[in-house]
Amino acid sequence: MKIVILAVTLLAPNLGNETTKEYGALIYKEATRYKVDPLLLTAIIHVETGGKWDAYAVSKTNDYGLCQIHVSKSNIPRIYHKADILFKPSVNIHYGAKILKMWKNYHNRSCANINNHRFWAHYKFGRKVRAKRWSGKVNKIYTRLKVKYGEMSMKILKVGE
């Protein structure tokens, strides 16, 4: 967990100690629960929030919170019309990790273009990955975190792409 807190501190130095520890612990907990790399989830949050780490962020396409969870009748019906619960970091990061795992499974089992993009591109675009710019941004941050903390992280967490 300490590695994730260090990664959050590196990417969002203005968050403050308590918030950094809270986010780091939540990212670690949910990423290990869903067997996705916590450094990747950290990079996705950083890119999705434009580096602001704003738990109350809302996009014009109804994406909410840190992980920018999209809310529609079809993707998470139980929270449709209750999207404000996604402002709670624990709920948002839980769904972010769960969705990332879902797209990882989809990519590895069903994606027709498996060699054309990384699995996390589906997180942003769904089944049809349209642009590589977002994925490239995530990859840049993720690579930076892996270089700095990755070897230590993989030994401790035993999770991977």
Greater confidence, 61 or 17?
Answer: 17
Q: Give the domain extent around 148.
A: 2-153
| Domain CATH number, residue 75 | 1.10.530.10
Segment 35-93, tens digit of pLDDT:
999 999 999 999 999 999 999 999 998 899 999 998 875 566 667 677 889 999 999 99
**pLDDT score at 159:** 46
Q: How does residue 130 score in pLDDT terms, banded at 50, 70 and 90?
A: confident
15 within a domain of the structure (yes/no): yes
46 within a domain of the structure (yes/no): yes
Q: Cα–Cα–Cα angle for 40, 45, 46, nearest 5°? A: 95
* DSSP labels, 24-41: HHHHHHHHHHTT--HHHH
The domain tally of the chain equals: 1
69 within a domain of the structure (yes/no): yes
121 within a domain of the structure (yes/no): yes
**pLDDT score at 145:** 95
159 within a domain of the structure (yes/no): no
111 within a domain of the structure (yes/no): yes
Q: Which region holds residue 154: left if phi is over 0, alpha if psi is between -120 and 50, else beta?
A: alpha
10 within a domain of the structure (yes/no): yes
161 within a domain of the structure (yes/no): no
